[in-house]
Amino acid sequence: MRSQRNKLFLYAIRYLPRTLVVWGTLYAILLSGCGYATRSVILPPDMKTIHVQLFKNNVDIVKEVSAKDKYEVYRPNLEVDLRDAIVNRIFLDGHLRVAAMDQADAILEGEIIQYRKDPLRYQDEEVREYRISLVCDIVLRDADDSSVLLELENITGDTTYFTTGSLQKSENQALTDAASDLARRIVNSIVENW
């Protein structure tokens, strides 16, 4: 009995420290987090507010894009809807606050260069699914000296929608979803680096 206790004691002395080190290391790794963080890519730490200008709608509605759909799609007030989507996304993101132009640290300008509606799926020669794409260029400027902080071209937001069935959406709802996707991409480009 005594020799069995001695063997158990020697076993614990020999292997317990290794086990504690392994478990301690695993515990420390788990407590340290997932290993990524977000930080501002281009904004100096003192930039807290942004003004979003109304984007210019430069969709060329007379340019032919394909044999089937002859021209780009035009939608009135698209620039207003996109600005609203960007402002909403800034509120959700929380890195910046929206401010009037005379009180903002940065100014976001842009232009919508494309609004496309591409057919994706047909049934009996009728289009059942479309992809809507919004493409724009943006410029983020410092409000004090108008220096360019960020300039990006051809940022695209898109969504798909069905014209029939249980997943059916209207084109207006799909356009709202595409504008939200574009706003998410714009705000992420400004404030995040993964």
Cα 188 from chain centroid (whole Å)? 5
pLDDT digits (tens, 9 = 90+) for 24-51: 555 555 555 554 444 445 567 788 999 9
pLDDT at res. 40: 47
pTM, rounded to two decimals: 0.72
Q: What is the mean pLDDT of residues 5-24?
A: 59
Residue 122 confidence (pLDDT) above 60 = yes
Its sign, for the CA torsion 185, 188, 190, 194, is: negative
Q: What is the pLDDT of residue 44?
A: 74
Q: What is the pLDDT of residue 65?
A: 53
pLDDT of 70 reads: 42
C-alpha neighbours within 13 Å on the C-beta side of residue 152: 17
pLDDT, tens digit, 9 for 90 and up, residues 60-95: 766 555 545 544 566 778 899 999 999 999 999 888
Strand spans (E) along the chain:
49-52, 56-57, 97-98, 106-123, 126-142, 148-162
